[in-house]
Amino acid sequence: MKELVLPEHLAEKMEQLYQQMEKDYSNVARALEFSCEGCPDNCCDSYFQHHTYAEWAYLWHGLRQMPQEKQDQIRGWAETYIAECRKAEDKGERPQVMCPLNEEGLCILYAHRLLVCRTHGVPARMRRPDGKVMPFPGCFRCQDIVEEREKTGLKTPHVERTPLLMELVKVEDEFLEHKRHMYPRLKLTIAEMIVNGPPSIPTPHCER
């Protein structure tokens, strides 16, 4: 299968979009006086799944900038991650395993981390195409801050994910040459994106 390579102009669009995400996140965090500093937990063990080929390709855009030896090491960590997640799922539990890109408490591919990684922590919301609004309360520390603020009548600021996701969909559509309907829907962890290799063009089904 032919690999899907992210063109430089789309990689630049992704970077601009991610910068806007970081700006929106920082504005809300500042308003709440929220910081991850000193937190006893690490969000990188949260079980996240990702849904766009563009972000998958962007992740590989960053991975390939690393030495081959490091890439091989990360792949080994990703394989371990997948195995541990399967053990948890077999027990009917939600996996809580450290991300294979986390080394000594820090993301080693920080500049190429994905949308969910960038927006997790502070309150956010998203409006689905059917009009339903989905709220995201933020991490446990942020929820404590919000609870105390709301006792005094203060409103809770939040990151509005809808315009960010709409821009991401535009990038995705261009990346897939306006043929998104031809690609299987994605629901992959970062570890699976690493072990599976970069995204590729699906093989057409033969007519019978």
Query: What are 89's two structure tokens?
Result: 């799922």
Residue 128: its pLDDT value, please?
Answer: 84
Which residue in 104, 53, 100, 47 sits closest to 77, CA to CA? 100
Residue 196: its pLDDT value, please?
Answer: 95
- Specify the pTM: 0.86
Digit-by-digit pLDDT tens for the chain (208 residues) are 688 889 999 999 999 999 999 999 999 999 999 888 877 777 888 888 889 999 999 999 999 999 999 999 999 999 999 999 999 999 999 999 999 999 988 899 998 988 888 888 899 998 888 889 999 988 888 999 999 999 999 989 999 989 988 999 999 999 999 998 889 999 999 999 999 999 998 765 433 3
Tokens 């995204």 sit on residue: 199
Q: Per residue in 31-59, pLDDT tens? A: 999 888 877 777 888 888 889 999 999 99
Map 33-73 to HEC letters: CCCCCCCCCCHHHCCCCECCHHHHHHHHHHHCCCCHHHHHH
Residue 133 φ then ψ, to 5°: -95, 130
Residue 193: its pLDDT value, please?
Answer: 96
Each domain of the chain, given as residue ranges in start order, spans: 8-195
Query: What are 166's two structure tokens?
Result: 């709409």
